[in-house]
Amino acid sequence: MQAAEGGGVVRERGVAVADPLLDARDLVKHYGGVEALRGASFTAYAGEVVSLIGDNGAGKSTLVKCLSGVERPDSGTVAFDGRPVELDSPVAARALGIETVFQDLAVAPDLDPAANLFLGRELRKPGVLGWLGVLDKKEMRRRAIGSFDDLGVTLQSIDVPIGSLSGGQRQSVAVARSVVWASKLVFMDEPTAALGVVQRERVLDVIRRVRDQGMAVVLISHNMPEVLAVSDRVEVLRLGKRVARFRAADTTVEELVGAMTGALSQEDAG
């Protein structure tokens, strides 16, 4: 078994000689009696795609929520760019350059794609009108069309509520929103789940492009061939704990599945 011990292999490969961009340690999160995270650790380096995999209910989405400021872990530490950080709100995560595609997308179905792209970051008109809070809808629409074009999001119309789009289109808009605003790290919680073959390839292309710009991309997916195709590294979560880490180039689907189900366990992975 050729697992990456600690992160040594990564360093050896030379893609991320520096310290981790994101280093979460021993996160614990309870929901009432349910222990969703039981001391989970997670690491991401700048300029890499790292997949976070695990069975249903392993705690992947919970981990992502904790690391994007939506949920607060009961205990554990998070370091970002080498400094300890307190991700106590979505705003705090955004300020660090972290963006997220949530599994449930977190879009406003009644608003159009441009409004969703700029949600919480609306552009205002210059001058007094802007000071009064008046939106620059035209400019937002123009930029949104540009971004969607750029990212290969196909929409027939720019002013329909996003709830009337297909599931895949909605997912594409959520992906676009995350990569447009991210500057350091993007979490994508099953961003390709509802996508057709063509759109899936587009999202994977976008993920590679974002990585090539030097950002870290964290991909959550249940599709193992996809994981192996796009990732540099893979971290495996089982029952709320990290149980294994792999270099994508050195592993196989069997090995990943083994780690997810517990048939195979790696020491020194936590």
Partner 1 sequence: MTPQRKSLAKRLVGTNTLWIALVLLLLIAVFGALRPDAVLTVFTLQTTLVETSVLLVLAVGMTFVIITSGIDLSVGSVLVFSGVTSAMTMNSLNGGDATNAGWGVVVVGLLVALASGAAWGLLNGLLIAKAKIPPLIVTLGSFGAALGAGQLISNGSNVSGVPNVLSNNLGTGTTFGVPNLVILAAVVTALGALLLGTTRFGRHTYAIGSNEEAARRVGIGVTRHLMAVYLLAGVLAGLAGFMAMAYFRVASVTGHDTDNLNAIAGVVLGGTSLFGGAGSIVGTIFGVFIPAVLRKGFVIVGVNVYWQPIAVAIVLVAAVWFDQSRRKARDRS
Interface positions with Mg ion (CB under 5 A): 60-61, 103
150 binds partner 1, rule: CB under 8 A? no
Check residue 106 for interaction with partner 1 (CB under 8 A). Answer: yes
Asked if residue 173 lies in contact with residue 202, where contact means CB atoms within 8 angstroms, the answer is: no
Binding pattern for the stretch 47-86 against partner 1, x by CB under 8 A and - elsewhere = ---------------------x-x----------------
**Part of the chain binding partner 1 (CB under 8 A), chosen from 162-170, 213-221, 242-250, 255-263:** 162-170
Q: How far is the CB of 226 from ligand ATP (least distance, A)?
A: 14
Who's near 66: CB < 8 A, 6+ residues apart? 24, 27, 29, 37, 72, 73, 76, 87
Q: Quick one: which of 34, 108, 158, 198 contacts ligand ATP (CB under 6 A)?
A: 34
Q: How far is the CB of 206 from ligand ATP (least distance, A)?
A: 21
Q: By CB under 6 A, is residue 22 in contact with ligand ATP?
A: no
Q: Tell which positions 218-257 bind ligand ATP, by CB under 6 A.
A: none
Q: Which of 34, 75, 86, 89 binds partner 1 (CB under 8 A)?
A: 89
Q: Which entry of partner 1, Mg ion, ligand ATP, none binds 195, CB below 5 to 8 A by partner kind? A: none
Among left, alpha and beta (phi > 0; psi -120 to 50; other), residue 57 is left
Q: For 220, phi and psi rounded to 5 degrees? A: -110, 130
Nearer to ligand ATP, 65 or 141 (CB): 65
Regarding 122 and contact with partner 1 (CB under 8 A), the answer is yes
What's the min distance (Å) between Cβ of 193 and partner 1? 12
Q: What CA–CA distance (Å, rounded) separates 245 from 234?
A: 6
Contact 79, 22 (CB under 8 A): yes
- Kindly state the tokens that stand for 142: 């123009």
Q: How far apart, in Å, do the first and last CA atoms of the chain sit?
A: 17
Residue 197 in the binding site for partner 1 (CB under 8 A) = no
Those residues with Cβ within 8 angstroms of residue 106's Cβ, 6 or more apart along the chain or in another chain? 174
Instruction: Please tell me whether residue 33 binds ligand ATP under the rule CB under 6 A.
Output: no
What b/e sequence results for 238-251 when a residue is b if at least 16 CB atoms lie within 10 Å of its CB, and e otherwise?
Answer: bbbbbbbbbbbeeb
CA distance 261 to 270: 16
Rg (CA), the chain: 19
Residues that bind partner 1 (CB under 8 A): 68, 70, 89-91, 94, 100, 102, 104-111, 113, 115, 119-122, 124, 132-135, 137, 141, 145, 148-149, 154-161, 163-164, 166-167
